[in-house]
Amino acid sequence: MHVGVVLGDIDKQLGGGFTFVHDVVAAFLEQAATSSHRFTLFAPGDYVQAMRGEQLAPNVALVASCKPGILDRRISLLRHYLPVFGYFWRRPSRFEQQMHALGIEFVWLAGGNHDTYEIPYVTTLWDLQYLTHPWLPEMNRNWQWEHRELFFSRHLRRATSIIVGTKVGKDQVARYCGVPEDHVDILPHPTPSFALRAAEQASEPPANLPKEFLFYPAQFWPHKNHVNLLRALKILVESDPDTPPLVLVGSDRGNRAFVESCAADLGVSHKVIILGFVPTEDVIGLYKHARALVYPSFSGPENLPPLEAFALGCPAVVSNYLGAEEQLGDAALLFDPTDPASLAHAVRKVLSDAELRGKLVERGKARARKWTGREFVAGVFKIFDRFEPQRRCWK
């Protein structure tokens, strides 16, 4: 079967999404020769240019994906928002025409922006946050909720397979979207390769930071719950003025100014260090030297920073979002993200209990090694094998 692997154009500042997609594609290129299928990797032009001279497996071709024009984007929106439009305009998009011309029989949407195709496809779903947390501004402002509802209701139901990371994620797809359970495959998201590679390497934290600090890597979205973290920090500082400061990294998605104003109102600005977006090498140093990862996000069912902390020996204090227990097991200390006192108690426990810290680090390292890009890609190849007997029945 000729499989098209689609690598969308993803901004590095999107954080976990960028890390996940590029790790998975790198693992795919390493393992492609173990599959009986033939592959064409469609990627942005700059990625193709960067890969020039790289030795690819004999069954892999790399081509620059056709960029959608203004008309393509508008037609795509019309097909999602007004499906009957597709009856009157049946011409495929430029990219789908490119895939047809190359004889693509099946599509793996490995990540990035993508559309809904008539060619059978497998897609990866990170979350259904617009349905689990529809009240959040990033989900309900500027027509975001309506856009996602119109897109996902069509995109997911037409997929041959939907890859999710947990049983919780599978249940959500079946319950919220009406997708048959046997159309959903569970493949745990892999521990980011940069963290696994750096686990045994020496590293330094970014300059000008205090010797001890708490660490939270997250873009400034409301669902990342910075405000309740600041309220917990206030509780900690009131009981112990020597509480380590909190270091925040991540690009601003419109909520940073509000977070800074809340820190000022709570009287904890002197205990908050905001570094913004930082390169991966700095992130590694921050994990390795932090007293703990504090991760209060409201949203699951999976998150990558706890896995990064596990790999790099940083004890993790994580919110009990739906899916957290399944993903993290006993390797993280969980708390209620809506209760600053619960968060403060969990942080205090990790800071004061050396034995607990040691157990969390040990369990975390073992759990991080369980899931890599290799296991994820092997699972995707099984999806291809399973579908091939059906796909061979038409031209």
- Domain CATH code at residue 263: 3.40.50.2000
| Counted domains in the chain | 2
Residue ranges making up the domain that contains 346: 193-368
Residue by residue, DSSP assigns 176-231 as: HH---GGGEEE-PPPPPHHHHHHTTS---PPTT--SS-EEEE--B-GGG-HHHHHH
Q: Residue 104 has which token pair?
A: 């693509």
Q: What is the pLDDT of residues 186-225, one digit of tens each?
A: 999 999 999 999 988 877 777 789 999 999 999 999 999 9
Residues 178, 227, single domain; the answer is no
In angstroms, what is the C-alpha Rg of the chain?
22
pLDDT at 259: 97
Residues 250, 149, single domain; the answer is no
pLDDT at 105: 97
49-63, 86-100, 334-348, 362-376, range with the lowest pLDDT: 86-100
Kindly tell me if the per-residue pLDDT of 14 is higher than 60.
no
% the chain with pLDDT above 90: 74
Residues 202, 117, single domain; the answer is no
Which of 251, 356, 129, 306 has the alpha carbon at shortest distance from 320? 306
Residues 138, 197, single domain; the answer is no
Residues 55, 114, single domain; the answer is yes
Average pLDDT on 152-179 reads 94
The whole-angstrom separation of Cα 298 and Cα 336 is 9
pLDDT at 63: 95
Kindly tell me if the per-residue pLDDT of 268 is higher than 80.
yes
Residues 267, 301, single domain; the answer is yes
Residues 66, 184, single domain; the answer is yes
Residues 79, 198, single domain; the answer is no
Average pLDDT on 360-378 reads 94
- Buried b / exposed e over 48-65, threshold 16 CB at 10 Å, is beeeeeeeeeebbebeeb
The whole-angstrom separation of Cα 318 and Cα 292 is 10
Which of 312, 331, 321, 300 has the alpha carbon at shortest distance from 188? 300
Residues 167, 214, single domain; the answer is no
Q: 111 with 20: CB under 8 angstroms?
A: yes
Contacts of 284 (CB under 8 A, 6+ apart): 194, 195, 198, 201, 203, 312
Q: 303 with 332: CB under 8 angstroms?
A: no
Number of neighbouring beta carbons within 10 Å of residue 259: 20
Q: Which residues share a beta bridge with 294?
A: 317
Residues 14, 89, single domain; the answer is yes
Which of 122, 7, 50, 45 has the alpha carbon at shortest distance from 391? 122
Which of 389, 375, 305 has the alpha carbon at shortest distance from 163? 375
The whole-angstrom separation of Cα 264 and Cα 255 is 15
- CA terminus-to-terminus distance, the chain: 11
Which of 7, 105, 11, 3 has the alpha carbon at shortest distance from 65? 7
pLDDT at 15: 59
Residues 142, 261, single domain; the answer is no
Which of 232, 217, 298 has the alpha carbon at shortest distance from 266? 232
Q: pLDDT-based confidence at 12, cuts 50/70/90?
A: low
pLDDT at 114: 66
Strand, helix or coil for residue 255: coil
Q: What is the pLDDT of residues 60-75, one digit of tens each?
A: 999 998 877 667 777 7
Residues 270, 173, single domain; the answer is no
